[in-house]
Amino acid sequence: MTTRDEQLRDEALQMVEENEELVSQDPYRLSYHLMPPVGLLNDPNGFIQWKGTYHLFYQWLPFKTDHGAKFWGHYSSTDLVDWTHEPIALTPSEWFEKNGCYSGSTIDHDGKLYLFYTGNVKDEAGNRETYQCVAISEDGLDFDKKGPVVHLPDGYTAHFRDPKVWKKDGLYYMVVGAQSKELTGKVALFRSSDLEEWELMGNAAGSYQGGLHDFGYMWECPDLFELDGNDVLIVSPQGLEAKGMNYQNVYQAGYFVGKLDYSTGSLSHGEFVELDRGFDFYAPQTTEDEKGRRLLVAWMSVPDQNEQDHPTIAYKWIHNMTIPRELKLMNGHIYQQPVEELKQLRKGSAVYYDVTLLDEERVFEGVAGKSMELIVEELAIEEEFQVRIGGDVRLSFNRKQGVFTMERTSYVDGSREKRQCELHQLTKLQVYVDHSSVEAFINDGAEVFTCRFFPSPKDESVRFMARGEVKGKLEKYGLK
């Protein structure tokens, strides 16, 4: 360990200790979502199940609730439910990462954990340099930095980051989020036989290729994997213009389904589809676990989207992850489901109701809380059905319009704001509420809406509203 590394670790731990009490007093602290102990959390990194244990690293700035020279924080778990905060995995201590150990991934190689990340460097004039680096661990806790293995190739700007590595037929592949010299978003693909020497194959996908026209000026956090016989590219493009109900956030996160030609490195693919239709979802990362499931976790925020107006800043922390979700591909569409293990969060006895509403608004005894799971299924909706959480977030389905809406009170100016998607029919709604977050899974995860919200801390209410007749089965669980 270098002295700079030790110094940064000490300073970070000091920040944690000094602010522990203040942070814990925030009524908007979540109970079962991963958060930073202090400071800012953004992208999930290095998600893997390794030797039985799940590891989820995260972009972390311990010193302020803003972006800057990121660390890799580290959580581990054996069941995706109870997480342990582990010692810091990476500090930005070396010349090749001095302005941040940016996002990346992990992979097992000969029983060791290889961690790939972007070393972000800025010179005095603010010019950026980028290095794709590797660090190796024998125990999954201490990482030995080996430095850069990929230097910026010709044809790209220094917006070149977030390596995701996987193995296929005895070779290793790496996708990197990139911007071409023409200022268009790309995904660069590399190949290696030993994880050390990397050969650039070309752009697997991007603006002005694979049937796309202009599709953003930068693509961040690519992730390429096989799902139910297809190849899926998940990516977070920047620079898409809002179009009807689509692309309403500042930046997007979504996927393409296709086929990667491993000899040419080019991905033929269909249309870009947003993974989550809510306000707060970005930079998702997946892993295949030992059960063969494809699991996803995302950052529950969006860069540059009024981050500095979050009320939790007063308590010296900001942002959290989504719950882990399992992905399935059906008829070319990704379905996201909360991982099964989350049932372990349920506590106390469940509350059930056979619901019939007719042009009315109702509350149901026992259906309230700050940390809960709601399921409404076998829904039959004549005109409109709404669920209002904590007097703030409203989830509604309007059958005539064929539209599902998530609405919340803006934490910037108190106005009401909404996100929407087309939906033919609402048959099932499963909602995870956790103090200041809502994740709504529609029709078994065909669509998902995620957001933060900052309700009056005392309001635990859930109100149901119907226009015309609504029938369904309601189930509620308190969560830990």
The strands making up 112-122's β-sheet, listed across from edge to edge, are 101-109, 112-122, 128-137, 144-151
Give me the amino acid identity at 455.
P
At its nearest, how many Å lie between ligand FRU and the CB of residue 71?
A: 10
List binders of ligand FRU among 90-109 (CB under 6 A): 102-103
At its nearest, how many Å lie between ligand FRU and the CB of residue 90?
A: 12
Please select the residue that binds ligand FRU; options are 94, 97, 129, 162, rule is CB under 6 A: 162
Which residues have CB under 8 Å from 255's CB, separation 6+?
232, 233, 234, 235, 272, 273, 275, 334
Give me the amino acid identity at 418.
K
Residue 204 near residue 266 (C-beta atoms within 8 A): yes
Site string for ligand FRU, 179-218 (x = CB under 6 A): ----------------------------------------
Site string for ligand FRU, 253-292 (x = CB under 6 A): -----------------------------xx---------
By CB under 6 A, how many residues form the interface with ligand FRU? Answer: 15
At its nearest, how many Å lie between ligand FRU and the CB of residue 348?
A: 37
Q: Is 319 in the site for ligand FRU (CB under 6 A)?
A: no
Give the residue with the Cβ less far from ligand FRU, 101 or 327: 101
List binders of ligand FRU among 330-389 (CB under 6 A): none
At its nearest, how many Å lie between ligand FRU and the CB of residue 61?
A: 8
List binders of ligand FRU among 40-79 (CB under 6 A): 42-43, 59, 70
Q: Which of 43, 280, 392, 434 is catalytic?
A: 43
Give the residue with the Cβ less far from ligand FRU, 70 or 394: 70
97 φ, ψ (degrees, to nearest 5) = -150, 20
Which residues have CB under 8 Å from 236's CB, separation 6+?
177, 219, 220, 221, 251, 252, 253, 282, 283, 284
72, two tokens: 């890799």
Q: Is 161 in the site for ligand FRU (CB under 6 A)?
A: yes
Q: Is 129 in the site for ligand FRU (CB under 6 A)?
A: no
Between CA 198 and CA 133 the distance in angstroms is: 12
Q: Is 108 a catalytic residue?
A: no
List binders of ligand FRU among 217-246 (CB under 6 A): 220-221
DSSP string covering 356-417, please? Answer: EEES-EE--TT---SEEEEEEEEEEESSEEEEEETTTEEEEEETTTTEEEEEEE-TTTS-EE
> Assign residue 414 a region: left if phi > 0, alpha if psi is -120 to 50, beta otherwise?
left
Which residues have CB under 8 Å from 480's CB, separation 6+?
31, 32, 345, 347, 371
Residues designated as active site: 43
Judged by the rule CB under 6 A, the positions of this chain that interact with ligand FRU are: 42-43, 59, 70, 102-103, 118, 161-162, 177, 220-221, 282-283, 303
